[in-house]
Structure 1
Amino acid sequence: MTVALWCLFAAALLHPLSKFPMAAAQAREGSGYDNRNPRAQQERLTGWGARARAVHANQIESFPLFAAGVLVATVAAPKVAAVDCLALAYIAARLVYPVLYLADIHHARSLVWSVGYGASLALLTSPAWA
């Protein structure tokens, strides 16, 4: 299995991991974590909890483009070292992004988001430059 495909697996694991801060914020809310209606509770989060919710949503939103990029690159350009580097760049960006978002460091967060998005786009276009 290539590094890029392992990165795809790692990105899938980021889904539940990105939920932990949001769940912690929900648990700290007055009545604790509402497992019967967690989405309604998530909508009421403010401050750090709202940012945690945004981190989780953004992780889910970014995954399909990355997944498509890795699959396109794997099928069309399986031996290009840049593909693995781009996949690793996406994972690195997705690990730094939540830290910056939760700390409310918005300019750096946007820059890191751009790195991840750019890596996904580059993976999608890899057949053109492979």
Structure 2
Amino acid sequence: MTFARFTIAYWCVLIAALLPIACAALAKYGMMSTPRRDGGFDNHNPRGWLAKQTDWRGRANAAQQNTFEALPFFFAAVIIAHILQAAQTRLDIMALLFVFLRIAYIMMYVADLAKARSAVWAVALFVNILILLSAYR
């Protein structure tokens, strides 16, 4: 019996999948123990509660939504690159770079660094395109 190797790029897929959850946790940070009547987290209507958040909590929620939006392309790019047998080291490096850029994006979003955030978003998109095209021959 043979086993498939779980590459660094595949680990990056897992990490990227967990980033939206980290954003949601950040948006809820410190509000779980505050009573609902005092504006604390409302687990009966979590999306409604998150939608009402402002400042850094609202931006963390927006980062969560954008991070979810970035996942399908990243997942597909990594899988397609593996299927087409892209150079593994290059693929791993680009997947790591994508994850680091997305983490930086989240941090910049929460910190309200709009121009820098948009630049990082664009670079991450470009890296994702490179991942997809890495196996092109």
**TM-score, normalisation: structure 1:** 0.88
Corresponding residue number in structure 1 for 2:136: 128
Corresponding residue number in structure 1 for 2:3: none
Structure 1 residue 9 and structure 2 residue 14: aligned? Answer: yes
After superposition, what is the alpha-carbon deviation per residue over 1:72-92, rounded to whole angstroms, capped at 9, x for unaligned?
A: 011102434221111011111
Corresponding residue number in structure 2 for 1:20: 25
Q: Distance in 2 between matches of 1:18 and 1:77?
A: 33
Q: Distance in 2 between matches of 1:120 and 1:33?
A: 35
Is the CA contact (8 Å cut-off) linking 1:25 and 1:45 kept in structure 2? no
User: Hey, which bits of structure 1, 4+ residues long, moved more than 4 A?
Assistant: 25-29
Which residue of 68, 83, 105 corresponds with 2:113? 105
Q: Distance in 1 between matches of 2:30 and 2:62?
A: 12
SS in 2 for 1:33: coil
Structure 1 residue 117 and structure 2 residue 125: aligned? Answer: yes
Q: Distance in 1 between matches of 2:22 and 2:40?
A: 20
Which residue of 51, 59, 70 corresponds with 2:67? 59
More helix per residue: 1 or 2?
A: 1
Where do 1:24-103 residues align within 5 Å?
24=29, 27=32, 30-103=38-111
State the Cα distance separating 1:66 from its structure 2 match. 0.4
Q: Distance in 2 between matches of 1:63 and 1:106?
A: 21
Counting aligned pairs with the same residue, the percent is 33
What is the alpha-carbon root mean square deviation over aligned residues?
Answer: 1.9
State the Cα distance separating 1:24 from its structure 2 match. 2.1
SS in 2 for 1:128: coil
Q: Distance in 1 between matches of 2:12 and 2:62?
A: 22
